[in-house]
Amino acid sequence: MSLKKINIHEDDFDLFVLLENPDKIEFLFDAISMGARGAMLKQVAKFEVEHSDDFRLAHVEDVLVGRHRLCIVKYEDTVTFNCDSLAIINRCVDKILSEGNILIRKRNIKKTNIDVYKYFKAYEVIKLSMPISDN
């Protein structure tokens, strides 16, 4: 198989853009022998091993909301939102507040190279036993 015959899907390309140059070369080499999906899974596994301490307790969810993509990362008592639409982030925050949680903005948490979308917000979550009324 040659590089011209490799079919790289959107998710694979999103990962490829985030890779360092040596890892990009490894990805392309692996894509020739095991396909783009196999090369992508190998890079994800490699990243998880290298950063296992950072993401041990994190839960990452990347969802499509209309035509916008929203990445939500939850760990310990913190949740971060990364999206290409600020309105989508604000709607998620309002939903969490209406479910009975208090969110405290954490400005000391900064975007990382994994957060690829334009807007980023981080909050500390304080759980309550009952919903808060809008009134």
The residue-averaged pLDDT of 115-120 equals: 88
**Closest residue by Cα to residue 26 from 40, 10, 37:** 40
Q: Average pLDDT of 31-38? A: 80
Residues 69 and 107 in one domain: yes
Q: Give one word for 100, left, alpha or beta, with left for phi > 0 and alpha for psi -120 to 50.
A: left
Give pLDDT, residue 130.
Answer: 57
> Are 84 and 31 part of one and the same domain?
no
Range of the domain at 46: 3-50
Shared domain for 73 and 40, answered yes or no, is no
Q: Are residue 63 and residue 15 in the same domain, yes or no?
A: no
Q: Is the residue at 133 inside a domain?
A: no
Q: Domains in the chain: how many in total?
A: 2
